[in-house]
Amino acid sequence: MSRKKDAAPVTFEQKLRKLMILLAVPVIGTILVTFAAFLAYAGRYREILHNVTTASEFNQDFKESIDLKMYYYVVGSRYSEGLPIEEVKAARELALSLQDTTTQKESWKAVNDVSKLCENLEDKIYQIEATQSYDERQSQLENNIYVLTDMIQAYMYTYLYYEAVRLDELQTQMTKRLYLESVLILLFASVLLLWMVRRMMLFGRSVTGPIRALCSRVQAISDGDLTVQEPVAAQEYEIQTLSNGFEQMVERLNRQIEQNRQEQISLRSAELALLQAQINPHFLYNTLDTIIWLIETDKYEQAVGMVTDLSGYFRSSLSKGRDIITLREEEQHVRSYLHIQQVRYKDILKYRISIEGQLSDCMIPKLTLQPLVENALYHGIKMKRGQGEIAVTGYEDGGDICLTVSDNGAGMEEERLQQVRAAMGHKERVGFGLATVHERLQLLFGPEYGLEITSRKGEGTVVGVRIPKRKAETTVRH
């Protein structure tokens, strides 16, 4: 198996890294420029917004408050709280702080006037404090205090007006700038997109062609074509490696298939032997205990009959090492088992076996019916009160053999029945051994055969067995 010696293939990572760099450089540059412009506008906007927010702390009732307090002071009212010096100083400090952050000429002039007027107002207040004449105080109040507070409030409103106008202008500028930048970015992105589409189409053609060829090869392999072929030629290292690996895999598969064929036959035989090893040692112990009890109670004939049945039971179990026996032998095996159990459970167990005679020579896997009968006894009859009955029937149906093991025992709840059916479907080792028998039948005859189970709580359980009608075990699937 050779490989074409073209240009050295590069990896997907190398190609993608190159594309990412070509894309990232202009994109990052655009983002940085846009971000820088945004930061500049945002800084100016934040500064003006700070000024407006700080100016809003100015007492909107400044004039009314100062005028009223000074009036009470001049007339000597009992409501007087003294001179409002602190309020005037607070207004002046507010104006001074705004001067440090205000850059617009009109706004700065307005807030500067507020600062000077506050200083003048403070002097006029102290002047009233030093004046003794009531008439002079009234004159100063009207000609100085009222006029100054009115001017301070007016100039502060003027400042707020100019800053608000500037804020609106800046917002309009930002909107226009963002719109313009958006158009430019859109144009740039369109050009970049067209360039990237062209690059990606070239890249895609270099990838999709070999991948399609590789997919066709994989499909052919999945359809059973295991002939070794020339690997797909690709520029990408990963695709070339995959193609080489597929052909190497096919070559190894061809060598492995024949080896596995014989191993599978041996493994299946081992699985069947393991699945058929279902003899419960407790059955032997209990049977021997029963025989001893019969002997101790002088029931020798029954003890001899039970020993005979036990001998027949194990003779059928061994069946000269055969895995497939006749239905007649399986029936005798079940009959021996039930006869033994009837001696032990004579007060609760009755049974009947009715299998059509023309089926006696048909072949059946050994230990198909006995686990089902044992299941019916221990999980059906023994779980109900009073006497119960187990019925084993067999008949032919369209070239298949249908066997049923039914009991009128305790039955199962619907939830438990669904669990058992699911276990049978997934080959899980639950369901009183039913999954084992079901798996064995499907392993031998195919998925269309096996067990079906129906049950109703308090009424009993029916287990149906369907197997093909065969006269010789050589017809069993391998």
Which CATH number goes with the domain that contains 130?
1.20.120
Establish if 223 belongs to a structural domain: no
Mean pLDDT of the chain, nearest integer: 78
* 385/16: higher pLDDT: 385
For residue 474, is pLDDT > 50? Answer: no
* 464/231: higher pLDDT: 464
Say yes or no: 177 and 289 in one domain: no
Alpha helix ranges (H) inside 237-351: 237-276, 281-296, 300-318, 327-344
Say yes or no: 286 and 151 in one domain: no
Establish if 71 belongs to a structural domain: yes
pLDDT of the residue at 291: 79
Final residue of a structural domain among 195, 215, 237:
195
What tokens does 113 get?
């006037």
Say yes or no: 181 and 281 in one domain: no
pLDDT (tens digit per residue) in 117-156:
888 988 988 898 888 888 888 898 888 888 988 898 888 8
Establish if 201 belongs to a structural domain: no
Domain count, the chain: 2
Contact 149, 114 (CB under 8 A): no
Say yes or no: 170 and 296 in one domain: no
State the greatest distance between any 2 C-alpha atoms of the chain, in Å, as a whole number.
149
pLDDT of the residue at 191: 82
What angle do the packed helices 434-445 and 369-376 form, to 10 degrees? 160
Q: β-pairing, 460-468 with 400-407?
A: antiparallel
Final residue of a structural domain among 131, 160, 195:
195
What tokens does 147 get?
């006029």
- Stretch 304-320: mean pLDDT: 72
* 21/232: higher pLDDT: 21
The percentage of residues in the chain with a pLDDT greater than 70, rounded to a whole number, is 78
Contact 32, 187 (CB under 8 A): no
- Stretch 274-293: mean pLDDT: 63
- Stretch 416-443: mean pLDDT: 76
What tokens does 302 get?
């029954």
pLDDT of the residue at 402: 95
Give the side-chain half-sphere CA count within 13 A for 255. 5
Triad 336, 341, 345: Cα angle to 5°: 150
Residue with tokens 């205000």: 102
Say yes or no: 289 and 180 in one domain: no
Establish if 203 belongs to a structural domain: no
Establish if 267 belongs to a structural domain: no
Q: Which of 41-45, 261-265, 372-376 has the highest mean pLDDT?
A: 372-376
Establish if 272 belongs to a structural domain: no
Residue range(s) defining the domain that contains residue 61: 13-195
pLDDT of the residue at 67: 87
Say yes or no: 283 and 189 in one domain: no
* 66/268: higher pLDDT: 66
pLDDT of the residue at 234: 64
Contact 348, 386 (CB under 8 A): yes
Say yes or no: 459 and 321 in one domain: yes
Q: 3-class SS at 8?
A: coil
Establish if 216 belongs to a structural domain: no
* 197/7: higher pLDDT: 197
Which residue type is seen at 60?
Answer: Q
- Stretch 420-430: mean pLDDT: 73
Distance between CA 427 and CA 467 in Å, rounded? 18
Q: 3-class SS at 386?
A: coil
pLDDT (tens digit per residue) in 5-14:
455 566 766 6
- Strand order through the sheet with 388-397: 349-355, 388-397, 400-407, 460-468, 450-456
Contact 457, 438 (CB under 8 A): no
Give the domain CATH number at 332: 3.30.565.10
Final residue of a structural domain among 146, 169, 195:
195
What tokens does 89 get?
């100083």
Say yes or no: 352 and 469 in one domain: yes
C-alpha closest to that of 59 among 19, 89, 15, 99: 89
Say yes or no: 281 and 182 in one domain: no
Triad 473, 474, 478: Cα angle to 5°: 105
